[in-house]
Amino acid sequence: MEVLDVEFGHLSQEELIAPVDTVQEKWKLLPAFLKVKGLVKQHIDSFNYFINDEIKKIMKANEKVTSDADPMWYLKYLNIYVGLPDVEESFNVTRPVSPHECRLRDMTYSAPITVDIEYTRGSQRIIRNALPIGRMPIMLRSSNCVLTGKTPAEFAKLNECPLDPGGYFIVKGVEKVILIQEQLSKNRIIVEADRKGTVGASVTSSTHEKKSRTNLVVKQGRFYLKHNTLTEDIPIAIIFKAMGVESDQEIVQMIGTEEHVIAAFAPSLEECQKAQIFTQMQALKFIGNKVRRQRMWGSSGPKKSKIDEARELLASTILTHVPVKEFHFRTKCIYIAVMVRRVILAQGANKVDDRDYYGNKRLELAGQLLSLLFEDLFKKFNSEMKKIADQVIPKQRAAQFDVVKHMRQDQITNGMVNAISSGNWSLKRFKMDRQGVTQVLSRLSYIAALGMMTRISSQFEKTRKVSGPRSLQPSQWGMLCPSDTPEGEACGLVKNLALMTHITTDMEDGPIIKLAANLGVEDVNLLCGEELSYANVFLVFLNGNILGVIRDHQKLVNTFRLMRRAGYINEFVSISTNISDRCVYISSDGGRLCRPYIIVKNQRSAVTNKHIQELSQGYRSFEDFLHESLVEYLDVNEENDCNVALYEHTITKHTTHLEIEPFTLLGVCAGLIPYPHHNQSPRNTYQCAMGKQAMGTIGYNQRNRIDTLMYLLAYPQRPMVKTKTIELIEFEKLPAGQNATVAVMSYSGYDIEDALVLNKASLDRGFGRCLVYKNAKCTLKRYSNQTFDKVMGPMLDANTRKQIWRHEILDADGICSPGEKVENKQVLVNKYMPTVTQTPLEGSSVPQQPQYKDVPITYKGPTDSYIEKVMISSNAEDAFLIKILLRQTRRPEIGDKFSSRHGQKGVCGLIVPQEDMPFCETGICPDIIMNPHGYPSRMTVGKLIELLAGKAGVLDGRFHYGTAFGGSKVKDVCEDLIRYGYNYLGKDYVTSGITGEPLEAYIYFGPVYYQKLKHMVLDKMHARARGPRAVLTRQPTEGRSRDGGLRLGEMERDCLIGYGASMLLLERLMISSDAFEVDVCGKCGLLGYSGWCHFCKSSCHVSSLRIPYACKLLFQELQSMNIIPRLKLAKYNE
Amino acid sequence: MLCLHVWLLGERESGMAVPGSVQEMRERVVLGEFGIRNVHTTDFPGNYMGYNDTWNYGRFENNFRIDIVKMEGDTLEFDMVGIDAAIANAFRRILLAEVPTMAVEKVYVYNNTSIIQDEILAHRLGLIPIRVDPRLFEYRSAAEEGEGTEIDTLQFELNVKCTRNPRASKDCSDPNELYLNHKVYTSHMKWLPQGNQSDLFPETDPPRPVHGDILIAQLRPGQEISVIMHCVKGIGKDHAKFSPVATASYRLLPEITLLCPIEGELADRLQRCFSPGVIGVDEVDGKRVARVINARTDTCGREIFRHDDLKDLVRMARVRDYYIFSVESTGILPPDILVSEAIKVLMGKCRRFLDELDTSQMD
């Protein structure tokens, strides 16, 4: 009672009985979270970690270069820095560069990597500072980017959009994203059943130096260790013995002394006995004989004995991540024992681990990938220097060997640039060879770019038909968007992050080890081994390594969490218990997914209205919530230990955490959909894919960009029905779509198969009008023979002295002028190139005036374009760069594709004049008529509600929310409609515009946000009567881009055969394709030439006939490989 | 027959058509809960026994009337009674698509350094309503190419250059104060009289955009727009910019019939089911009784059908040949002129059709 008094004494009676009020606007934590973390923060964090910390560690690990030639010579790195992005103006003069300049000038946005070194020159020891060794592409908005900490006004000065998320690289003028890579967790034991049902354990160990995979397999009840470096599987008991555990009793003690465990392990001991191996030496020798011989490059040390080799192997290659110091194998033994025990316990009982469980996954980000690449390049750089030192030092020279003169920058620079621009990550060290790691950032719309930054690609083969890794895992809840995945072969393998997901970076584990020891974790090395299997003893793992054991795991976990909440440990360290395995896992490694949750104390949310108020007033930041233990991050494994309430009213006495907002379980793309919780799930998935094709706006700097392809909407609008996500990602500032008044009804026959009927007057007034920008590019190069490309003025007509038509739009400088209209085949840049570009051979005649041939840049396209702007600059190679931006304005036409935000796409089937459109009571005509058949099978109820909410919003003059799992209620929205005299159901009395009589049905009528998709007929239309042919076969070319023919394929051919239209067949397949007159000698059956058979040396039997050119080609190709096809000719009437 | 006709007239005056009767089928569009009944005109000659539906000019003249209800500024509301849907609709369609106006058709861009693309600028200029009487101009003939003449073309120029305001205070960040001419409005458009056009229009009422405050573009210092626009006469069918109306539409006169006396709480509920002022509740003998005051203002939200106990007590219908027209002009011509123009267009079409008939008969 006294305690209660102390706690509640200051409250009045009323306050005590008042109901506990809920935290009203806890979603406000989200903008606060996104302010600190941002949508692409994971990329930026990871890159920052790499250039600021990791790179120093890499340098430390490879800090010394020595030479075999001179033991006194050395090179030691003292420090390494990544500078700020700059560009070389002239020799050794640099100037800071902005990302946009790099985009325009096709350069790489990169910063110099400089090192401080200490080395010897002769007998001198020299220290040199700030020596460049290469250039590092810089991620936009990272700590070294010029954009960090700038205000929107400063962004505008740099021609940069403040809403652009950053997190990508600019390499050779192209924006490249390093996709997040999903992989199985490193250094964790995974117990799995194979196809036959036998259980085994595997560990993929990975350290800086090595990566290896160790398997524990069971064959006929015996345990074997399987490893790549071993030619055959080694009985596990022999491994134990080789590691110095010679006594069988000790082995069994480590594994466990329960009867069934001993029984399961006994055959393995027996096998060892049979092999007659009792001592460590014997065991090592046994293993040494099984080691696969592989001469690694660079390891040309003295030859080791087999025993040493085996010992070395056990210490460093097998289970690399378990540290072994001076061949004390104790920890590794225990680790293997735990693996064995895990497998024994998993047998029979279904306790195998799930590979697809998201707690077993790690995400690799740009920073990690780049650090792997950089380390490889750095090592190569060092070994190159060593090679040079080895070569140069023995030679006597006047000047002493100065290594600085041999440090070549381009190796690291090119290595980085090529990897990012091609996406091929091939590292010799780890035998890694991955393709498609990077992708060009899609700038089709703002959402496309954002969506790309949150994309996760997985390592699984796309072609394999597996369902496991593709299906939605319950553990992905809240971490990955359940909707946003492509359809087709990459389905479920390419995923997207949810709105609040954060990916951790690596952390120091030293303090955690110390803390764990202080909290009562006992070192395993001090134990005899049997304790491991005690029922009340829990094993403590830190990042996959055994730290020790703990008796009271509950207390450890609780204290640990309290310390973390108090800020003594990094907030991203996670601790979780696995009761069935009797383990406590502490993780501080990078690549884990986690998200913030509100802490629940005493069945009350720790965050109260007061906190939220302070947040909205700006007194508080998200960081404060973390520090005051109101909010904490949970990773996937720790989530399993917690009891998270979705809503405040569902808190029970077991609840530990409270969700911040349920809609955050969706990602960026799915967040655009209003009322997604009312839609059939695949529809949301379709919309996620289509939102990326919607045109609109791409950034505030869109008009300054010269992209290869850019689609913009002339009059983009914010959606009437928005969501919280839309506000958070500021989609409203860069929208992609328009609010169209939609009538859901049948109209004419041109609306079948989801086709839409558009109102002509709406199109006249600017609905769906879009701008298409394309660019044309050319460089003026210098060649090695002192010649160079040049641009010449326009050619004049001889008679009229006017510019010829092809050069009509050229200025006097030979480059088209802005604002002009270009037609097909007109010249944009009148470029000339020297005919001879090679250096003339020695002794050949001195070239006179260089000869030029014209290589004009011409415009090709079915419709005319306008020239928006012309840029003249120089690129990184100092060549002139001319970029021309071309513009087309298009109004929607029949066949253009539109879509609502509910995966309901359709093409325009008919454009109807306004007077023919139905109109409602107030005289409103719809912009779009949509057929009601689109609804029943698609079940996009969300679209119906969007229409209602949109209509109410229009009447009321405000925006409604369609946030997932919330948003404006249908009931309230409908009440609004009634207030304005509309029908409760949103169905209006509509009059036909054609007859003037009312329609028999009430029409569902109101605004829906429509997106115009990038697929337009103008870009697809294609027909050909005559046209180019392929050189080799003389058949018509293929594809629209080459003005190709339309193929009469096999099946069409079958039809013609079946119909008996043989002459048509002949006409299509030969006469109109590749008919060719050949002279065939009737005697020898070979092809002749202009009426003469070269084989028979006569012309008497030669006759002329028409065959397909491809057929003639085949004969000749066959002849070239000594097969002689002979044609037998006979008279037609014989 | 005549007496029947008079009887019919009498019926209308009383406003009654018995539910379910032939009368109702002929004269009322009935709003049901799930659909609209009797939407089509069915009074064709010989379609109904006992009715003479043959065309009779005298009868039409007697029945037909137009009442102007409201005319304020650019909007006009009038009732057109006693006419077939096809004809009423023809007026609406002609108003939307076939009454000519002048609009910018060609834009000659001499300089445009603004953020707005030339095509978009031209599109925007095209949509500006130009206040000039289109009847004073001819259509430009399609055959002849060229600049056009004073009788078919009206020229405007727009020359705006944005500069920094030298008198703006230093710490100011409001673009309105920082820059001069940074917003291009329709008031910047200047008429260039061609030929005798300056005599045609009084100086007080020169051709100009209807509204002077339509924002065309925004500029920043150094940016400039310099264009000359040619306006031509055209019709809405060709492009919506020529449409003289913001919208022209009609609705049928609502009719609400209480099928039995509604009293007490039901009456109040009934009142709430309709737009304000449609249903009145009177105190009769201490009882509250509902009464239809003015069905015309009802928006036909059909709220009544959500009340199971009320929906069968009321019949919602609309009078088939009572059109409440609403014409909103864009401001180029007053709406009443537009309507008479529309009638002229229809008359012209009829005349042309009759001429066609005559010529074809001659062949």
Is CATH 1.20.140.160 correct for A188-293+305-361? Answer: no
- pLDDT in the model for residue A974: 92
The arithmetic mean of pLDDT across residues B172-179, rounded, is: 87
Q: What is the DSSP letter of A926?
A: P
A868 and chain B in contact, CB less than 8 A: yes
- pLDDT in the model for residue A240: 83
The arithmetic mean of pLDDT across residues A216-227, rounded, is: 84
3-state SS, one letter per residue, for A751-770: CCCCCEEEEHHHHHCCCCCE
User: How many of the other CB atoms lie within 10 Å of CB of A128?
Assistant: 15
List % helix, strand, coil for chain A (3-state, nearest 5).
30, 25, 45
Question: Mind telling me how many Å the CA of B40 is from chain A's nearest CA?
Answer: 6
- Reply yes or no on whether the pLDDT at A527 is more than 70: yes
Is-contact A539 A546, C-beta < 8 A?
yes
- pLDDT in the model for residue B96: 93
The DSSP-derived string for A847-915 is P-SPPEEE--EE---SS-EEEEEEEEEE-TTS-EEEEEEEEEEE---TT-EEEETTS-EEEEEEEE-GG
Picking from A741, A830, A818, the residue whose alpha carbon sits closest to that of residue A791 is: A830
- Reply yes or no on whether the pLDDT at A297 is more than 50: no
- pLDDT in the model for residue B13: 40
- Cβ contacts of A41 within 8 Å, gap of 6 or more: A502
A997 vs B35, B85, B326: nearest CB: B85
Task: Look up the pTM and report it.
Answer: 0.89
Question: Mind telling me how many Å the CA of B106 is from chain A's nearest CA?
Answer: 15
Nearest CA in chain A to B38: A1000
B318 and chain A in contact, CB less than 8 A: yes
Picking from A531, A513, A183, A192, the residue whose alpha carbon sits closest to that of residue A323 is: A513
The arithmetic mean of pLDDT across residues B186-197, rounded, is: 91
A840 and chain B in contact, CB less than 8 A: no
A769 and chain B in contact, CB less than 8 A: yes
Whether B123 sits inside 8 A of A1001 (CB atoms) is: no
- pLDDT in the model for residue A296: 52
**Please, which residues 673-712 of chain A have a Cβ atom closer than 8 Å to chain B?**
703
- Reply yes or no on whether the pLDDT at A84 is more than 60: yes
Q: What is the pLDDT of residues A338-360, one digit of tens each?
A: 888 888 888 766 677 888 888 88
Rounded CA-CA distance A329/A323 in Å is 9
Share of chain A above pLDDT 70, in %: 95
Which ranges in A957-1045 belong to alpha helices (H)?
A: 970-979, 1017-1020
For the ranges A207-216, A379-388, A1067-1076, which has the lowest average pLDDT? A207-216
Whether B127 sits inside 8 A of A915 (CB atoms) is: no
Question: Mind telling me how many Å the CA of A932 is from chain B's nearest CA?
Answer: 16
A915 and chain B in contact, CB less than 8 A: yes
The DSSP-derived string for A646-688 is SSGGG--TT--EE-S-GGGGSBTTGGGSSSGGGB-HHHHHHHH
Which CATH superfamily hosts domain A1040-1121? RNA polymerase alpha subunit dimerisation domain (3.90.1800.10)
- pLDDT in the model for residue B205: 87
- pLDDT in the model for residue B10: 37
B299 vs A761, A981, A993: nearest CB: A981
Q: What is the CA radius of gyration of chain A?
A: 36
**A520, two tokens:** 């009562």
Strands (E) in A398-543, as ranges, are: 425-427, 432-434, 438-440, 455-458, 494-496, 502-503, 538-542
- Reply yes or no on whether the pLDDT at A754 is more than 80: yes
Query: Which residue intervals of chain A bear CATH 3.90.1800.10?
Result: 1040-1121
B69 and chain A in contact, CB less than 8 A: no
Q: What is the pLDDT of residues A821-844, one digit of tens each?
A: 999 999 999 999 888 777 766 666
- pLDDT in the model for residue A847: 57
* Residue indicated by tokens 């003639």: A1112
Looking at beta carbons, which residues of chain A come within 8 Å of B248?
923
A996 vs B85, B96, B243: nearest CB: B85
SS3 B70: strand
- Reply yes or no on whether the pLDDT at B88 is more than 70: yes
Q: What is the DSSP letter of A796?
A: B
Whether B120 sits inside 8 A of A991 (CB atoms) is: no
What does residue A926 show for φ and ψ, rounded to 5 degrees? -75, 155
Whether B240 sits inside 8 A of A1002 (CB atoms) is: no
Rounded CA-CA distance A18/A347 in Å is 56
Question: Mind telling me how many Å the CA of B26 is from chain A's nearest CA?
Answer: 13
The arithmetic mean of pLDDT across residues A661-689, rounded, is: 92
Rounded CA-CA distance B300/B274 in Å is 8
- Reply yes or no on whether the pLDDT at A64 is more than 90: no
Q: What is the pLDDT of residues B59-68, one digit of tens each?
A: 999 999 999 9
Whether A981 sits inside 8 A of B301 (CB atoms) is: yes
Among B26, B27, B33, B36, pick the best mutation site for testing chain A contact (most A Cβ within 10 A).
B36
- pLDDT in the model for residue A844: 60
A38-182+363-428: CATH topology is Rna Polymerase Beta Subunit; Chain: C,domain 2 (3.90.1100)
Looking at beta carbons, which residues of chain A come within 8 Å of B39?
997-1000
B109 vs A769, A819, A889: nearest CB: A819
- Reply yes or no on whether the pLDDT at A520 is more than 60: yes
**A663, two tokens:** 């809609």
Q: What is the pLDDT of residues A134-155, one digit of tens each?
A: 999 999 999 999 998 889 999 9
Whether B240 sits inside 8 A of A991 (CB atoms) is: no
Rounded CA-CA distance A499/A209 in Å is 35
The arithmetic mean of pLDDT across residues A983-1002, rounded, is: 93
Q: What is the pLDDT of residues A622-645, one digit of tens each?
A: 888 888 888 889 989 898 888 999
Please state which CATH number belongs to domain A502-665. 3.90.1070.20
Q: What distance lies between CA A968 and its chain's CA centroid?
A: 35
Q: If 0-12 CB within 10 Å is exposed, 13-18 middle and 19+ buried, where does residue A878 land?
A: exposed
3-state SS, one letter per residue, for B290-323: EEECCHHHCCCCCHHHHCCCCCCCEEEEEEEEEE
- pLDDT in the model for residue B14: 42
- pLDDT in the model for residue A868: 92
Mean model confidence pLDDT for chain A: 87
- Reply yes or no on whether the pLDDT at A849 is more than 80: no
Burial letters A998-1033, b for 16+ CB under 10 A, else e? bbebbbbbbbbbbbbbbebeeeeeeeeeeeebeeeb
Picking from B294, B303, B256, B261, the residue whose alpha carbon sits closest to that of residue B276 is: B294
Q: What is the pLDDT of residues A888-924, one digit of tens each?
A: 999 999 999 999 999 999 999 999 999 999 999 999 9
- Reply yes or no on whether the pLDDT at B239 is more than 80: yes
Query: Which residue intervals of chain A bear CATH 3.90.1070.20?
Result: 502-665
The arithmetic mean of pLDDT across residues A933-937, rounded, is: 93
Is-contact A230 A240, C-beta < 8 A?
no
Please state which CATH number belongs to domain A771-836+850-890. 2.40.50.150
Q: What is the DSSP letter of B188?
A: G
SS3 A403: helix
Picking from B236, B270, B266, the residue whose alpha carbon sits closest to that of residue B256 is: B270
SS3 A1009: strand
Is-contact A374 A295, C-beta < 8 A?
no
Q: How far is CA A439 from CA A173, A452, A456, A502, A708, in A?
A: 14, 9, 12, 22, 15
Rounded CA-CA distance A747/A738 in Å is 22
A866 and chain B in contact, CB less than 8 A: yes
Is-contact A815 A859, C-beta < 8 A?
no
SS3 A330: helix
Strand A502-503 versus strand A593-601 pairing type: antiparallel
**Amino acid (one-letter) located at A107:** M
Looking at beta carbons, which residues of chain B come within 8 Å of A1000?
35-37, 39
Rounded CA-CA distance A615/A26 in Å is 10
Share of chain A above pLDDT 90, in %: 39
Query: Annotated catalytic residue: which of A70, A116, A754, A1079?
Result: A754
CATH of A671-680+719-768+898-1012, one of 2.40.270.10, 3.90.550.10, 3.40.50.11740, 3.30.365.10: 2.40.270.10
Picking from B210, B255, B236, the residue whose alpha carbon sits closest to that of residue B341 is: B236
B215 and chain A in contact, CB less than 8 A: no
Nearest CA in chain A to B306: A984
The arithmetic mean of pLDDT across residues B144-172, rounded, is: 86
Whether A997 sits inside 8 A of B115 (CB atoms) is: no
Catalytic-residue membership of A754: yes
Query: Which residue intervals of chain A bear CATH 3.90.1100.10?
Result: 38-182+363-428
- Reply yes or no on whether the pLDDT at B9 is more than 70: no
B240 vs A765, A981, A997: nearest CB: A765
Looking at beta carbons, which residues of chain A come within 8 Å of B250?
991
Whether B90 sits inside 8 A of A996 (CB atoms) is: yes
- pLDDT in the model for residue A1: 46
Dihedral sign computed on CA atoms, order A1096, A1098, A1103, A1106: positive
Query: Which residue intervals of chain A bear CATH 2.40.270.10?
Result: 671-680+719-768+898-1012
User: How many of the other CB atoms lie within 10 Å of CB of A750?
Assistant: 16
- Reply yes or no on whether the pLDDT at B310 is more than 80: yes
Specify the length of chain B in residues: 363
- Cβ contacts of A33 within 8 Å, gap of 6 or more: A500, A596, A622, A660
Is-contact A898 A1011, C-beta < 8 A?
yes
SS3 A988: strand
For the ranges A127-141, A321-335, A1119-1133, which has the lowest average pLDDT? A321-335
B93 vs A765, A868, A915: nearest CB: A915
Q: How far is CA A188 from CA A205, A408, A420, A544, in A?
A: 8, 40, 30, 5
- pLDDT in the model for residue B48: 86
Whether A771 sits inside 8 A of B117 (CB atoms) is: yes
Whether A1001 sits inside 8 A of B237 (CB atoms) is: no
For the ranges A272-276, A369-373, B238-242, B296-300, which has the lowest average pLDDT? A272-276
- Reply yes or no on whether the pLDDT at A434 is more than 70: yes
Nearest CA in chain B to A977: B301
**Please, which residues 158-197 of chain B have a Cβ atom closer than 8 Å to chain A?**
none
Rounded CA-CA distance B124/B113 in Å is 16
SS3 A710: strand
**Amino acid (one-letter) located at B348:** G
Question: Mind telling me how many Å the CA of B12 is from chain A's nearest CA?
Answer: 20
Is-contact A319 A225, C-beta < 8 A?
no
Looking at beta carbons, which residues of chain B come within 8 Å of A983?
300-303
Looking at beta carbons, which residues of chain A come within 8 Å of B303?
978, 983-984
Rounded CA-CA distance A966/A27 in Å is 12
SS3 B248: strand
- pLDDT in the model for residue B253: 94
Among A159, A975, A1000, pick the best mutation site for testing chain B contact (most B Cβ within 10 A).
A1000
A996 vs B86, B237, B243: nearest CB: B86
Nearest CA in chain A to B96: A915
Looking at beta carbons, which residues of chain B come within 8 Å of A998?
29, 36, 39, 252, 318
- Cβ contacts of A579 within 8 Å, gap of 6 or more: none
User: How many of the other CB atoms lie within 10 Å of CB of A620?
Assistant: 19
Rounded CA-CA distance B16/B4 in Å is 16
Looking at beta carbons, which residues of chain A come within 8 Å of B310?
none
ipTM of the complex: 0.91
A647 and chain B in contact, CB less than 8 A: no
Looking at beta carbons, which residues of chain B come within 8 Å of A914?
96-97, 236, 240, 243
Picking from A243, A209, A241, the residue whose alpha carbon sits closest to that of residue A314 is: A243
Nearest CA in chain A to B36: A1000
Looking at beta carbons, which residues of chain A come within 8 Å of B123?
714, 766, 769, 889
- pLDDT in the model for residue A545: 85
